[in-house]
Amino acid sequence: MRFAVDTGGTFTDLVMEDDKGVLHMFKAATTPDDPVRGILDVVASAADSLSLSPRDLLSRGDLFIHGTTYAINAIITGNTARTAFLTTKGHPDVLVLREGGRIEPFNFLVPFPKPYIPRALTFEVPERITSAGEVAQPLDEAAAIEIIKKLKSLKVESVGVCFLWSTVNPAHEDRIAELLEENLPGAPYTLSHVLNPILREYRRASSACMDASLKPLMNNYLGGLSERLSGAGFSGRLLMLTSQGGVMDVRDLIAAPIHAIGSGPSMAPIAGRHFARADTKSGTAIVADTGGTTYDVSLVRRGTIPTTPETWIGQRYRGHIVGFPSVDVKSIGAGGGSIAWVDDGGLLHVGPQSAGAVPGPACYGRGGERPTVTDASLVLGHIDPAYFLGGAMALDSTKAENAIRSDVAKPLNLSLEEAAEAILRLATENMVGAIEEITIDQGIDPRGAVLVGGGGAAGLNSVAIARRLGCERVIIPEVGAALSAAGALMSDLHADFRALHYSSSVSFDFGGVNATLKSLAAKCKAFFKGPGAGALDHSIEIFAEARYRHQIWEIDLPIDLTHFKTEKEVARVRREFDAAHEEIFAVRDPDSDVEFVGWRAVARCKLRAGRFGKLGHEKKFETNLPARRKAYFEGKGRVNTRVELFESMKPGAAMRGPAIIESPFTTVVVDPGARVVRTRSGSLVIEA
């Protein structure tokens, strides 16, 4: 049995795959003060549904896959460890000056962003290595020891180290590691050449400092999770989701916790790609994961999940760069818990503030007093107050009405229903805007894509979003309410290895490049024999970081070679670069030399075989759902609307909207004129 848990801002999702391949899905409220308690709560809910004790259930598991927002939340809220930054003397401003770039070039009122590590905790170490790897200035060990002693007096908890050109010659960084272990024992540290051997100084320094700042926190969290799961009866393998769209062993993630940033959202595109293929045979999909706090959107093109080399925490240029490629997911503050509010100028806003899990929307009755998207959907009749989470949680319609009336309807002089409809419509527009950024703004026509809706709140307005975009079909997977957790079960164990070695298409260094590729392949094979032992299958993907001469930025170019033999192979790779460059930037330059700056190898190990299962219904939720109820639709008002249970719809069964399809985990609103059919995989496909 396999467990996949995704801890979100509002709910903790669990998808289990039993030994017969049948899926089981559960939700529980996230507990921000102790996220592990929320995980154990959802496991207890699953055990109760299966008439087992939590210990009996966990003891049957061989894999536990976990994704969490714990790391990124710590960075955003400033709750990381007190971290020092050691850099080459004369270069203390690496994290201050960054790489340049401005979102608004002529807006001089925006304050300059603060560095990730303050200057007060930045220390210059006398040493210098050249770009050729030669020692220009030996490491001053006496000065380094004095700095380390000062770190101790400043109560520094972790250390990030990034020296110039340590990726070419790591001797000085390696020696600093020895000195730290001798003079600051027990304090975790990160060496930039070990973590992220790339060319760009700011990105390498940022990733090293970010990783170091997360080590004490994530060591405690993941160590506590492992211990508490073990104490609760789990004796299998604990894997963690990464931002690259795969999984790592928990001990490897503790060693490099930066890979946990954005881990949960990266799984939704994997699941979305699967359902787009299974239900519509489409290779192009917009994957939208609507949680209680955020709306995460990504794009699958020709069956490929795009990655981005520029992962920022916060706004681009104003936030902090992670320095690693990740699955390209855009997140905005729009979800079921997004708060609706009216500003001093009389304009309505929805989000980015969220009611979260605590206190939650007003209708939860847990102390929340401000109106949210969930409250609006309840007022409009889209959500049944007696059947939320399958009846496990009753909603208070009166509190939802009072919150919307006082905060939105009265200030805008609207009726209660008009105010609720305005909230939902504005939330829809915010979501459409996020999708347009990854489609229209990049020259991609969304009308040719299928929209895959995931997350507990996806069904409330996916049809409305599709109509605004011109998408003809919407897919709501059977396990869509826990899309990221479902994607975790489909993901592979992976490792990413990098190396610098410069060459060019004009004077290609066969010996140097082949030695670099051989070294990367050896690391992948060692991974297969270590963490990947016992995998069903494994593969190696090779990428070249390439650019035209005089360009500043590289692109990741996949290549199908592990060894270059002839000039013809170099010419073929060069033509592939021209084609990739034209696809991304709409221009190619066949007369320019192509420079190969770095090389990357991704090792992947397949952990599961066979088809992805269907959802079992081991527990029948008691319900007195009426066959019809009054629900409000824009331009129609309140209309008599058909109500169906998701699980009771047979494959091939179809109906036309207006209709509402209820499940214990989500509500799917089928707007008037739309047609919905249930597929063999269990999904709903809606022709918008």
Domain shared by 203 and 86, yes or no: yes
Rounded alpha-carbon distances, angstroms, from residue 408 to 343, 352, 572: 10, 16, 61
Chain segment 566-577, per-residue pLDDT in tens:
999 999 999 999
Confidence category of residue 310, pLDDT binned at 50, 70, 90? confident
The confidence score (pLDDT) of residue 605 equals: 96
C-alpha to C-alpha distance for 296 and 328, rounded to whole angstroms: 10
For the segment 489-504, the average pLDDT, to the nearest whole number, is: 93
DSSP string across 191-233: EHHHH---S-HHHHHHHHHHHHHHHHHHHHHHHHHHHHHHHTT
Closest CA to 502 of 595, 600, 575, 601: 595
The confidence score (pLDDT) of residue 618 equals: 54
Domain shared by 542 and 503, yes or no: yes
- Start-end of H helices in 593-635: none
Domain shared by 450 and 587, yes or no: no
In a domain, 338, yes or no: no
Domain shared by 520 and 479, yes or no: no
Give, for 655, the enclosing helix (H) or strand (E): strand 654-656
Rounded alpha-carbon distances, angstroms, from residue 59 to 36, 231, 338, 479: 18, 10, 38, 24
Contact 13, 5 (CB under 8 A): yes
Average pLDDT score over the chain: 91
CB atoms within 10 A of CB 181: 12
Closest CA to 285 of 530, 551, 483, 537: 483
In a domain, 6, yes or no: yes
C-alpha to C-alpha distance for 194 and 344, rounded to whole angstroms: 51
In a domain, 170, yes or no: yes
C-alpha to C-alpha distance for 20 and 242, rounded to whole angstroms: 27
Hey, what amino acid is at 395? L
Domain shared by 500 and 524, yes or no: yes
Domain shared by 236 and 276, yes or no: no
In a domain, 350, yes or no: no
The confidence score (pLDDT) of residue 617 equals: 66
Pairing of strands 158-162, 83-88: parallel
C-alpha to C-alpha distance for 472 and 448, rounded to whole angstroms: 8
Domain shared by 326 and 446, yes or no: yes
Domain shared by 90 and 194, yes or no: yes
Phi-psi group of 682: left, alpha or beta (phi > 0 → left; psi -120 to 50 → alpha; rest → beta): left
C-alpha to C-alpha distance for 313 and 293, rounded to whole angstroms: 17
For the full predicted model, state whether its pTM sits above 0.85. Answer: yes
Chain segment 42-78, per-residue pLDDT in tens:
999 999 988 999 999 999 999 999 988 888 888 888 8
In the chain the first and final C-alpha atoms are separated, in Å, by: 37
DSSP designation for 465: H
CATH, residue 61: 3.30.420.40
Domain shared by 532 and 514, yes or no: yes
Confidence category of residue 392, pLDDT binned at 50, 70, 90? confident
Pairing of strands 450-454, 285-290: parallel
DSSP designation for 363: G
Token pair 């494959």 is at which residue?
Answer: 651
Chain segment 456-486, per-residue pLDDT in tens:
888 999 999 999 999 999 999 999 989 999 9
C-alpha to C-alpha distance for 140 and 123, rounded to whole angstroms: 13
Burial class (CB in 10 A: 0-12, 13-18, 19+), 602: buried
Rounded alpha-carbon distances, angstroms, from residue 615 to 22, 485, 625: 6, 13, 21
- Residue 396: CA count within 13 A, CB half-sphere: 17
Chain segment 66-120, per-residue pLDDT in tens:
988 888 888 888 889 999 999 999 999 999 998 877 888 888 888 888 999 999 9
Chain segment 311-331, per-residue pLDDT in tens:
888 888 888 999 998 888 888
The confidence score (pLDDT) of residue 259 equals: 94
Percent of the chain with pLDDT over 90: 70
Chain segment 120-142, per-residue pLDDT in tens:
999 999 999 999 999 999 999 99
Distance of CA 358 to the CA centre of its chain: 22
Domain shared by 15 and 161, yes or no: no
In a domain, 356, yes or no: no
C-alpha to C-alpha distance for 544 and 508, rounded to whole angstroms: 13
C-alpha to C-alpha distance for 380 and 630, rounded to whole angstroms: 9
In a domain, 44, yes or no: yes
In a domain, 375, yes or no: no
C-alpha to C-alpha distance for 80 and 82, rounded to whole angstroms: 7
Give how many domains the chain has, as a whole number. Answer: 5
Domain shared by 229 and 304, yes or no: no
In a domain, 327, yes or no: yes
The confidence score (pLDDT) of residue 676 equals: 96
C-alpha to C-alpha distance for 335 and 292, rounded to whole angstroms: 5
C-alpha to C-alpha distance for 666 and 383, rounded to whole angstroms: 9
Domain shared by 132 and 252, yes or no: no
Q: In terms of residue numbers, what domain contains 52?
A: 2-75+219-260
The confidence score (pLDDT) of residue 576 equals: 95
Chain segment 589-640, per-residue pLDDT in tens:
999 999 999 999 999 999 988 788 888 765 554 556 788 999 999 888 999 9
